[in-house]
Structure 1
Amino acid sequence: MDLLRSLPIGLYLEKPLTWLHRLDPRVKLGWLMSLILTPLLSNPYWRIFLVLFLIIITSLALIPWRVQKKQMSWLLFFSCLIFVMTSFAPDGLIITHQPRLPNSDIIINQPTDYQYILYQIGNFKITRRSLDLAIKVSTLIFTLIYSSNLYLLTTAPEQITAGIEELLLPFRKFKLPITEIVLTLTLALRFIPLVLEEIQNLIRSIRTRAINWKKLGIKKSLKIWLIVVERLLENILLRAEQIAIAMEVRGFTTPNKHQVQWHQLKLSKYDFFVLLLLLIFWIGRLTIGNG
């Protein structure tokens, strides 16, 4: 089991360099925030469009299939599972209740073809409300997770922090610790692979011992997993202490005195073209995607 390969969450894809890699991180951050905000109060058609849009962008970026399969397939499966469960959940079970009004013998014919119940299997049924809720939940989960993961996949941690620092520079007038916040974000992004590596090593150590979980029972199994979690926390804190010692040895005192610029951010003509597409994207959301 290799978590660093099977669950590449928050990891940067260094090669191959796609056109998404070459875009300015500030432009990509604007697209990310747009993909996160536009599903709010939008209609189901716009939410479905966002899912298709992300799949098309991933295909046009020519990201290797081995990466797409590990990131997209499980997320699509999970979203489809949520869609099926939510379709039956809100109005799915028939519950007997006492009507508020007395029974009437008057039969009112439906003048149109409108039907609230779209599909029914025994006591389970799919209604217009449940279908709408299923589309909203499943597409929202896919859009939020995959768009964030695609951003981290095609943007180096140093580029992310440099872009955020450039965008937050005006807030320095209010004496906000922008550099400290950016440094914390950089260390957090660099720490994600270390956490996955520690989890991977602990799981491998348990598998090599060939523990028979059925004979142990629930109580003893929980004790073992508590020991594993405790050991994981100890290893993570040890890694954090090692990083702190390494920074102190190199004479690091404050981020303002020890700034290192890895990337010189400069908007190119392709970045301006993508920003124009972002403007068209928002116009489409305000005109077509309103709920």
Structure 2
Amino acid sequence: MDILRSLPIGLYLEQPITWLHRLDPRIKLFGLLTFLLSPIQANEPWRIAIAVLLIILTLASQIPMRVWKQQMGILLLLAFMTLAIATFSPDGFNANIQPRRPIPEVNVTAEKALSASLLTIKLPQPTPYSYVVWKAGSITITRRSLDLGVRVCTLIFTYLYAPTLFLLVTAPEEITAAIASIFAPLKFLKVPVVEIVLTLTLALRFVPLVLEEVQNLGRAMRTRSINWKRLGFKRTTQIWLILAERLIDNLFIRAEQTASAMQVRGFTTPNTHIVVWNPLKFLPRDIILLVLLVAMWGLRIWYGNEF
């Protein structure tokens, strides 16, 4: 299986160029922070709305289905499995608390009589509220378990898919240019912004190389047709350790080649080599999207609070 084609995690989609590609990277970075920070201490409708908005944004951007179908399907399956497990599990409020000291016999008799009298009297409920949402036999779904399931499944989908979509439509150079533009005032505090941004650029460029090395090692193992069942635990562990050592050696070789290429091109330090990023300029569509994001934060503060 081709990892780079089936699960393009951290890769940039060069073609086709959608309207998400044309947005200013600073706006996309602010949008990513909105998707990641707004679900914190938010209520259930807001978390569900954020996850649904990510799906609608993917469909509206006209990104080819082959790019996001498998990874979105895996994340949705993981989210729904987490929802089912958390919903049908006990919520932790069913534990019976017993007193440490024995209760006198008179009090026990009085409590039994009081409970029997309460059972015969059925008081009407003032509101339709019910802590138990659904019950069938030994399976009980309460409001707490349902809230926990929705919270976990939406956070898993949002926190894993939002960065993937952001990296899919934003080039690494645009990300670094946006970060350099946002943190440019820190230069007056003698913060090495250029060095940090350059390190981030190299890290983003190194992610596809890591996936490529893993893919090459996987193909090499498949061509040898190793029977893992007959090797045993000890020999299987030794082979995996050898593969991990080989992977680290290959990554160090790639890093050394990258450093050599930078030195050949005359790059020594940011002070002697001017790092030219992509020019950033706000367009009318970027301003409209910025206003929508600010309105989204206002709606989050006004409506989406949990308490």
TM-score range, shorter chain: over 0.9
Counterparts of 1:221-232 in structure 2, within 5 Å, are: 221-232=236-247
Match of 1:276 in 2: 291
Conserved? CA contact 1:92–1:125, under 8 Å? no
Q: Secondary structure at the match of 2:229?
A: helix
Which residue among 284, 288, 291 is the counterpart of 2:303?
Answer: 288
Match of 1:252 in 2: 267
CA–CA distance in structure 1, aligned partners of residues 92 and 2 of structure 2? 40
1:257 positional shift: 2.5
CA offsets per residue over residues 22-71 of structure 1, 9 Å max, x none?
00000110111111110011000000000111111111111111112023
Q: Secondary structure at the match of 1:125?
A: strand
Counterparts of 1:68-217 in structure 2, within 5 Å, are: 68-91=68-91, 97=96, 99-100=98-99, 104=112, 105=115, 106-107=118-119, 109=123, 111=125, 112-217=127-232
User: What amino acid is aligned across from residue 266 of structure 1 in structure 2?
Assistant: K
CA–CA distance in structure 1, aligned partners of residues 205 and 171 of structure 2? 10
Q: Secondary structure at the match of 2:140?
A: strand
Q: Secondary structure at the match of 1:22?
A: coil
1:266 positional shift: 0.5
TM-score relative to the length of structure 1: 0.94
User: What amino acid is aligned across from residue 9 of structure 1 in structure 2?
Assistant: I
User: What amino acid is aligned across from residue 98 of structure 2 in structure 1?
Assistant: P
Q: Secondary structure at the match of 1:266?
A: coil
Once the two structures are aligned, what percentage of the paired residues are identical?
Answer: 52
Q: Over alpha carbons, which structure has the higher Rg?
A: 2
Conserved? CA contact 2:20–2:61, under 8 Å? yes
Cα 1:146–1:268, aligned 2, differ >3 Å: closer, same or farther? same
CA–CA distance in structure 2, aligned partners of residues 260 and 174 of structure 1? 20
Cα 1:93–1:85, aligned 2, differ >3 Å: closer, same or farther? farther
1:215 positional shift: 1.0
1:286 positional shift: 1.1
1:262 positional shift: 4.0
| Unaligned runs of at least 5 residues, structure 1 | none
CA–CA distance in structure 2, aligned partners of residues 167 and 49 of structure 1? 28
Cα 1:241–1:90, aligned 2, differ >3 Å: closer, same or farther? farther
User: What amino acid is aligned across from residue 99 of structure 1 in structure 2?
Assistant: Q
Match of 1:21 in 2: 21
Runs of 4+ in 1 over 4 A off after TM superposition: 92-95, 101-104
Conserved? CA contact 2:6–2:67, under 8 Å? no
Q: Secondary structure at the match of 2:134?
A: strand
Which deviates further from its counterpart, 85-94 or 207-216? 85-94
CA–CA distance in structure 2, aligned partners of residues 139 and 70 of structure 1? 18
Conserved? CA contact 1:92–1:123, under 8 Å? no
User: What amino acid is aligned across from residue 6 of structure 1 in structure 2?
Assistant: S
1:88 positional shift: 2.5
1:247 positional shift: 1.4
Conserved? CA contact 2:195–2:270, under 8 Å? yes
CA–CA distance in structure 2, aligned partners of residues 92 and 67 of structure 1? 41
Cα 1:92–1:200, aligned 2, differ >3 Å: closer, same or farther? farther
1:250 positional shift: 2.0
Cα 1:110–1:210, aligned 2, differ >3 Å: closer, same or farther? farther
CA–CA distance in structure 2, aligned partners of residues 278 and 10 of structure 1? 24
Match of 1:31 in 2: 31
Conserved? CA contact 2:9–2:164, under 8 Å? yes
- Report how many aligned residue pairs link the two structures: 290
